Amino acid sequence: MRREIDYALARRATIRDFERGQLPRTDLCDAHPELLRAARHLGSETDTCCPVCGDGHTRRVLYAYGDSLKTANGRALTGTDELDKLATRHDEFACYVVEVCVECGWNYLLRTFLVGRRHAG
């Protein structure tokens, strides 16, 4: 069983609050420079336009976290192939999928899930 948390409803509420003027753009477009770098060079492009600036398509960055990952802990992954390799080598670790706009700095955690040999199936 794959354990996953999807933040789509919270994302929609955040965008709604921004569109209503209840959240300033500076609160939403605050991506760390390392996150922007990872999005540019490692992220996968989506068909989703940025909900804040609308200037470009967002990118998705995948991060892996787990004590057993050692040097790979907290690192942005190059894609699902790298994720699959890590999943066959480790019992369990968490993945975080972050949506990023490299134009304005919008970023939002889309979902988290657990992977590894314990969750294979």
pLDDT in tens, 4-25: 999 999 999 999 999 999 999 9
Distance from first CA to last CA of the chain, Å, rounded? Answer: 7
Q: Which domain holds residue 50?
A: 4-119
Domain count, the chain: 1
For residues 73 and 66, give the distance between their C-alpha atoms in angstroms, rounded to a whole number. Answer: 6
Helix H, strand E, coil C: the string for 55-107 is CCEEEEEEEEECHHHHHHCCEEECCHHHHHHHHHHCCCEEEEEEEECCCCCCE
CB 98 within 8 A of CB 35: yes
Is 121 a residue whose pLDDT tops 70? no
Read off the amino acid at residue 56: G
Q: What is the mean pLDDT of residues 45-50?
A: 94
- Residue 119 — pLDDT band, cuts 50, 70, 90? confident
pTM, two decimals, is 0.91
